[in-house]
Amino acid sequence: MRIFLDTANVEEIREASELGVISGVTTNPSLIAKEGRNFQQLVKEITGLVDGPISVEAVAQEAGQIIAEARILAAMGDNVVVKIPVTSQGLKAVKVLARENIKTNVTLIFSANQALLAALAGATYVSPFVGRLDDAGHNGMEVVADIVTIYAQYGMETEVIAASIRHPLHLLEAARIGADIATVPYGVLQQCLRHPLTDVGIERFLADWEKVKDR
């Protein structure tokens, strides 16, 4: 089980990276837009902060244009993975890019069938959006579980990134189910780290130590 950070914020990436718990970063156009920075400079900086895969999304809609954009994005860093929405044009592009050894993360996955098709087309990763499925009244984690089962059954190498993670239980469930990766927002990572009993425990230990340290 690996954890990626779902953000384009360099401070968050730096901080989480120092914790030693993240091995990649995922971004999307909304996360990039939130930073209000020059896109190329931002991606360059992020690729330098983390050794692992950095997903950057292509915004072109037609296969030939997606391929052209993906080549440009991939040239921005050895660790860049091109995020491509699961459309027919997107899958055509994934097939070509796989042959060029350009890594892809097929995104906006909302069903196990979409994930199956993405794997067959040659996706390196798929990103089922758990939180958005939950928002729509479905069980997002069931979709992740189905994908994990199907890929294992047929020995498919595409890795499953549980995405659109909204709270610590999502991470726990993704780990239980056997998702290869969960990509989590910085806030959720912090929530997963903290526990009130840890804080109380530290306070008590320090208070007791104060009583005896000078004896």
Distance CA 122, CA 94 (A): 6
Question: Which range of residues in 23-31, 46-54, 137-145, 205-213 is near ligand G3P by CB under 6 A?
Answer: 23-31
Beta strands 2-6; 181-184: pairing state? parallel
Q: Which of 34, 83, 95, 211 is catalytic?
A: 83
Q: Choose the stretch contacting ligand G3P; rule: CB under 6 A; options: 43-51, 64-72, 128-136, 203-211.
A: 128-136
Rounded distance, CA 181 to CA 55, Å?
Answer: 13
The DSSP result for 148-174, as a single string, is HHHHHHTT--PEEEEBS--SHHHHHHH
- Of residues 52, 122, 131, 178, which one binds ligand G3P by CB under 6 A? 131
Interacting residue with ligand G3P among 164, 171, 173, 174 (CB under 6 A): 164
Judge contact between 82 and 56, C-beta under 8 A: yes
Structure tokens at 148: 């994990």
Q: Does 105 bind ligand G3P (CB under 6 A)?
A: no
CA atoms within 13 A on the CB side of 37: 14
Contact flag: residue 114 with ligand G3P (CB under 6 A) = no
Residues 181-210 that bind ligand G3P (CB under 6 A): 183
Residue from the set 28, 79, 104, 158 that interacts with ligand G3P by CB under 6 A: 28
Tokens of 181: 């990766």
Q: How many residues bind ligand G3P (CB under 6 A)?
A: 11
Query: Does 211 participate in catalysis according to the annotation?
Result: no
- Contact call for residue 57 and ligand G3P (CB under 6 A): no
Q: Looking at the annotation, which residues are catalytic?
A: 83
